[in-house]
Amino acid sequence: MIRFYQHRYIFFAISISLILFGMVAAFVNGIQLDIQFKGGAILKYTYTDIVSAEQAESIVRQAVGRTTNCLLQSNMAKHEKMLIVSLASNEALTSQEQEAVTDALTRAYPDAHLTLSESLTVEPFIGKHFFTNGLIAIILSFMLILGYVAWRFRNIGGFSAGTMAIVALFHDAFVVTAVFIIFKIPLNDSFIAAMLTIIGFSINDTIVIYDRIRENERLMGKNATPEKLVDTSINQSMMRSINTNIAVFVSIAVIYIFAQVYDIGSIRSFALPMMFGTLSGCYSTICIAGPLWTMWQNHKREGESSIH
């Protein structure tokens, strides 16, 4: 049997190292906000020949000197391909800048028959409002999870179980954020979607382990130490968590490969953080939540024994 509690400080050190690495990446790369959160303009071009999203980003950036993100999409119903140019900025895009972008792309791809089909502007205050609402949704999900876990596992110290589950979820949320920063993916609606998905997926694994702890406490008796309860419960449910996460990881990896082959940035920016978030969720469930709960229970027992 693997002694997870005994090796807890190794697991904690790994998590702290990941957090520090993410903080360094944030300092070096900075945190980029996409147009949905910062404001700016979206230009949509139809085209016929081959166009590279990465090359288009470089061309637009040189033309107007703004943060640029380009995506390629295919409309099967209309049998047309589309280049979406997002220019995040605190200032609106002028007509002269829009013409400069179109001219630069047309010169770079003379055989693509690029045609501006749609132009949208997102005001900075709207982007800020959307970003704030996304953060509120994430915080609200943490609060609801804490309340649910505390109530459902009240027989094994519900509040402590809920609190440690939230700590593990913060770990996963940070990993997902770090992936966006390290790979220089601008924070957009995919960030909120990936974050909420990982939170829901990770807490499900943690609840399975808590359920085993509650069941083993009934089977092993009240005299069983928290260390034995947690180690036994994690070992019993570990392979289920690993197999489930492997299946999810492989599925998302296939989606990512598809998006990479067809250069679909919107799917790629969701799938890549999800892949790392799935691994983080499995790790935090097995190596973080249980040992932290055990430490809480041991501290509680020591306090009760000192009183008596």
Which architecture characterizes domain 40-122 according to CATH? 2-Layer Sandwich (3.30)
Q: How confident is residue 288, by pLDDT bands cut at 50, 70 and 90? A: very high
Specify the pLDDT at position 64.
87
Specify the pLDDT at position 12.
94
For residue 94, the 8-state DSSP code is P
Q: What is the dihedral of CA 267, 269, 274, 277, to 10 degrees?
A: 180
Kindly report which listed range (25-34, 118-127, 145-154) carries the lowest average pLDDT score: 118-127
Q: How confident is residue 8, by pLDDT bands cut at 50, 70 and 90? A: very high
| CATH numeric code, 8-33+126-307 | 1.20.1640.10
Over residues 77-108, the pLDDT tens digits come to 567 788 888 887 777 778 888 889 999 999 99
Specify the pLDDT at position 78.
64
Distance (Å, whole) CA 152 – CA 214 = 10
The arithmetic mean of pLDDT across residues 270-285, rounded, is 93
**Strand, helix or coil at 89?**
coil
Nearest Cα neighbor of 88 from 123, 129, 135, 52 is: 123
Nearest Cα neighbor of 283 from 6, 71, 15 is: 15
Q: How confident is residue 277, by pLDDT bands cut at 50, 70 and 90? A: very high
The answer to whether 202 touches 281, Cβ cutoff 8 Å, is yes
Instruction: Please report, as a single letter, which amino acid is at residue 40.
Output: G
40-122: same fold as 8-33+126-307? no
Distance (Å, whole) CA 308 – CA 303 = 9
The answer to whether 116 touches 128, Cβ cutoff 8 Å, is no
The two structure tokens encoding residue 58: 């470089």
pLDDT surpassing 80 at residue 303 = no
Distance (Å, whole) CA 282 – CA 213 = 17
Q: Helix, strand, coil shares of the chain as percentages rounded to 5?
A: 70, 10, 15
Is the Cα torsion angle 33, 36, 38, 40 positive or negative in sign? positive
Q: What is the mean pLDDT of the chain?
A: 87
pLDDT surpassing 90 at residue 272 = yes
Name the strand (E) or helix (H) holding 87. Answer: strand 80-88
pLDDT surpassing 90 at residue 280 = yes
Give the other-Cβ count within 10 Å of 168's Cβ: 26
Over residues 233-266, the pLDDT tens digits come to 999 999 999 999 999 999 999 999 988 887 777 7
Q: How many angstroms separate the Cα of 21 from the Cα of each of 11, 13, 15, 167, 206? A: 15, 12, 10, 18, 25
Over residues 165-224, the pLDDT tens digits come to 999 999 999 999 999 999 988 888 889 999 999 999 899 989 999 999 999 988 887 778
pLDDT surpassing 70 at residue 76 = no
For residue 221, the 8-state DSSP code is -
Is-above-0.85 flag for pTM?
no
Specify the pLDDT at position 207.
92
Sheet holding 40-47, edge to edge: 67-75, 80-88, 40-47, 115-122
Percentage of residues of the chain with pLDDT beyond 70: 96
C-alpha of 116 from chain center? 33
pLDDT surpassing 60 at residue 47 = yes
List the chain domain ranges.
8-33+126-307, 40-122
Q: How confident is residue 33, by pLDDT bands cut at 50, 70 and 90? A: confident
Over residues 122-137, the pLDDT tens digits come to 777 777 888 889 899 9
The arithmetic mean of pLDDT across residues 4-32, rounded, is 92
Phi/psi for 82 (5° steps) reads: -135, 135
pLDDT surpassing 70 at residue 308 = no
Q: How many angstroms separate the Cα of 51 from the Cα of each of 69, 101, 242? A: 14, 15, 40
Q: For tokens 């061309």, what's the residue?
A: 59
Q: What is the dihedral of CA 49, 34, 265, 139, to 10 degrees?
A: -160
Distance (Å, whole) CA 210 – CA 158 = 10
Q: How confident is residue 307, by pLDDT bands cut at 50, 70 and 90? A: low
The arithmetic mean of pLDDT across residues 16-31, rounded, is 91
